[in-house]
Amino acid sequence: MKILALGDVVGERTLPFLQKTLWEKRRALGADLVIANAENVCDIHGLSPKAAEVLFAAGVDFLTSGNHIFDRRDAHGLLNDSHAIIRPCNYPPTCPGEGSRVITSAEGWRVLVVNVSGSVFMDALGDPFRAIEQELDRHRRSYDIAVLDIHAEATSEKLAIARHFDGRFAAIFGTHTHVQTADEQILPQGTGYITDLGMTGPVNSILGVTPADVIEKMRTHMPRRFTVAEGDVAAHGALFEIDPFVGRALRVTRVKF
C-alpha cells in the first residue's frame, strides 16, 4: 500500500495547481491514499468548506490540520460533519471535531489517521504523548494500519514522539515548519518517518508568505499583515510504501512536484 502525504497547503491560489497536477502525480506514484495538511489554505489561516471541497475533488482523500484550524468559524461545522477532516487530538474534547478518524482505502484497508500538536514553542495544549495513546486505545482493533501527523515546531519533539511510538504507526510525518527535511527513514521497529513534509505552496516565498512582509516584520518588530506570495507553486511531501498485513513501512521517499 502506498500513502502520499503532502505538506501544509498554503493559500487558496495553490488549489488550482493541485487541481491540475495531483491526480496525474497520484497515478504516477501509484498512491492508494493521499493525505494533506490543510490548516493554511485560506490566506494562511484556516480551512473553508469550499476549499475542502476543492481539495477532495483534486485528489486528496483526507485532511489533517493544526494550530490555525479554528481561525475560521465555518471550519467548525466541517470538523463536526466530515469523516475525512481532523484537528489535533490534544485540543480539549469540547472543541469541534475529532483528533483521529478511520478511513477505508479503495482496497479495503482501514487506515487510522491521528493528528497531534506539539507542546514546545506552540500553544499550551494537552500532553501529546498521552493524547496519541488515548486515540490508539479508542480505535483499538478497528484499523489495519495507523498514520500520525505531528504538527509541531521543534524537530526534537517530533522525533521524540516518533521514537516513542515506533512500531505502533506505519507512518509518522511532521508538518507546520513548511521546510522539507532530508531525514526520511524507517525507524528500528518499522515506522516510516520524516521530520517535516515541507510545504505545498508558493516557491518564491518565506514559508508561503510574501518575502517583503516577513522581512519587514523581522527588521522592525512592528505588526504586519502577511499575504500569500505570488508566482510558481510546488508541492512537497513523502510517499510511504507500507506492508498493510503487518502495519510496517517498507520504504519512505521524499516527493516534490
The residues carrying an active-site annotation are: 68
- The span from the CA of 226 to the CA of 194, in Å, is 28
CA distance 153 to 41: 19
SS (H, E, C) the chain: CEEEEECEECCHHHHHHHHHHHHHHHHHHCCCEEEEECCCCCCCCCCCHHHHHHHHHHCCCEEECCCCCCCCCHHHHHHHHCCCECCCCCCCCCCCCCCEEEEECCCCCEEEEEEEECCCCCCCCCCHHHHHHHHHHHCCCCCCEEEEEEECCCHHHHHHHHHHCECCECEEEEECCCCCCCCCEECCCCCEEECCCCEEEECCCECCECHHHHHHHHHHCCCCCCCECCCCEECEEEEEEEECCCCEEEEEEEEEC
Q: Are 44 and 74 in contact (CB under 8 A)?
A: no
Q: For 194, phi and psi rounded to 5 degrees? A: -150, 135
Which residues, other chains included, contact 222 with Cβ-Cβ below 8 Å and sequence gap of 6+? 216
